Structures are given as C-alpha cells and as structure tokens.
C-alpha cells in the first residue's frame, strides 16, 4: 500500500491539481473484511494542511469524527482520518472520488487506519454510508456515498442500481445488524481455518 501512495504522490508532482481515479466497487463482504475499523460517527471538524509527500508537500484534509458506535475493531471517542486533497488558502488539490465532509455529517465508515492512504475509506469512497432521517417519522435510514438510498447490503458494490424503486432505504439499525452478522461470520470462518 505504501507503494500505491508513493505512486500517487509522484503523479501529484507531475500533474494538474485535479486527479482522476477509477475504483472497482467492493462488495459488502469485501468492505467488512478489508476494514480495520467500522464505526458510526459525526464529523466535528475538518482542517486542510500541508504534509510531506514525494519531492515536496501536498494538501491533505484531516476529518475529525466523534465516534458513537464501533461495529468492528477499536476506535477512540474521537477519530481523525486523513484524506489527500483539500482547499488551503488560494491552493486547492482535488482527487476524484475522495469524499469531502462537512461538520455535522453522520456516517458509517469502513476504514483502514494503520497506513497512510489517498483515502482511508475502503474503496476510496464506497465505504462511506450516509446516515439521514427518512423525513416522515425521523427514522434513521442509510444512503450510499453518493446519496442514493441503500436498500440492501447486497447492493453495495453492484455495478448498476435501480434509479427509481418502491423499496425504501434500509434503516440504520438494519445496517448495524448486517455489519455485526458479517463481522461474526468472517471471524468464525477465520477461526475454522485454524
């Protein structure tokens, strides 16, 4: 993974301030397996800064989350994730696919925290599940990273999603249960191989 980050940083020094990216969407099972931590959190701060990279410096954005629930791994009550890109004064670095956050955003995040990444979120942006209210009774529902209602975890990573559907978005509680079941299933499978 360090080689991947180094390659991106080399590209940064050679290219314009906007980078294109291509990502193969991971399945739900892949996201759970690859994530070191899965948590529910609220963005409490975002700060762009410069960081050493390659032959010079790059702009990164630190996003601070207040963690309300850990579904896999361990996390402190506040977790800071670093993303490549951001706006710093009159300088800007945009990386297509790297999500941006605003104070108050609520998300379920699937992340790698042990090594620097362009985006610590699994699948660049796919491991960000948005938490919103359904607008009718205040029930918490979930949406994919792009705001589309997430109707089933089987839809995560699907190449095509139905534009309009009578199926409502799944609840946050249903997503939590699905993640917990998959974490347990993968742990049992791993234990069975020993």
Q: What is the pLDDT of residues 84-102, one digit of tens each?
A: 999 999 999 999 999 999 9
Between 139 and 33, where is the model more confident? 33
- Candidates 102, 97, 127, 93; CA nearest to 112 is 127
Domains in the chain, number: 1
d(CA 125, CA 146): 9
pLDDT-wise least confident of 19-33, 46-60, 140-154: 19-33
HSE of 48 in the Cβ direction (CA atoms, 13 Å)?
Answer: 17
CATH assignment at residue 114: 2.40.50.120
Enumerate the β-bridge partners of residue 64. 45, 80
Backbone dihedral angles phi then psi of residue 124, each to the nearest 5 degrees: 65, -55
State the pairing for strand pair 56-72/78-84: antiparallel
Of the chain, the percentage scoring pLDDT greater than 70 comes to 85
Of the chain, the percentage scoring pLDDT greater than 90 comes to 67
d(CA 190, CA 155): 25
Are the C-beta atoms of 119 and 99 separated by less than 8 Å?
A: yes
* pTM of the complete model: 0.84
Work out the burial of residue 80: count CB atoms within 10 Å of its CB; fewer than 13 is exposed, 13-18 middle, 19 or more buried. Answer: middle
Confidence at 3, pLDDT banded by 50, 70, 90: very low
Task: Residue 105: give the domain boundaries.
Answer: 2-192
HSE of 191 in the Cβ direction (CA atoms, 13 Å)?
Answer: 6
d(CA 135, CA 154): 24
């Amino acid at each position: 993974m360090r080689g991947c980050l180094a390659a991106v940083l080399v590209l940064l020094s050679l290219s314009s301030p906007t980078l294109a990216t291509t990502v193969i969407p991971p399945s739900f099972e892949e996201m759970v397996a690859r994530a070191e931590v899965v948590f529910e959190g609220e963005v409490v701060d975002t700060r762009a800064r410069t960081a050493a990279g390659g032959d010079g410096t790059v702009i990164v954005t630190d996003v601070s989350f207040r963690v309300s629930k850990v579904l896999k791994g361990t996390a402190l009550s506040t977790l800071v994730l670093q993303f490549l890109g951001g706006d710093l004064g009159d300088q800007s670095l945009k990386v297509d696919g790297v999500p941006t956050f605003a104070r108050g955003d609520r998300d379920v995040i699937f992340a790698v925290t042990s090594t620097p990444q362009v985006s610590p979120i699994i699948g660049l942006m796919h491991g960000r599940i948005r938490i919103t209210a359904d607008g009718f009774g205040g029930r918490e529902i979930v949406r994919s990273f792009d705001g589309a209602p997430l109707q089933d975890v089987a839809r995560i990573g699907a190449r095509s999603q139905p534009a309009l559907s009578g199926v409502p978005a799944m609840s946050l509680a249903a997503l939590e249960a699905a993640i917990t079941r998959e974490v347990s299933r993968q742990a049992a499978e791993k234990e069975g191989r020993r």
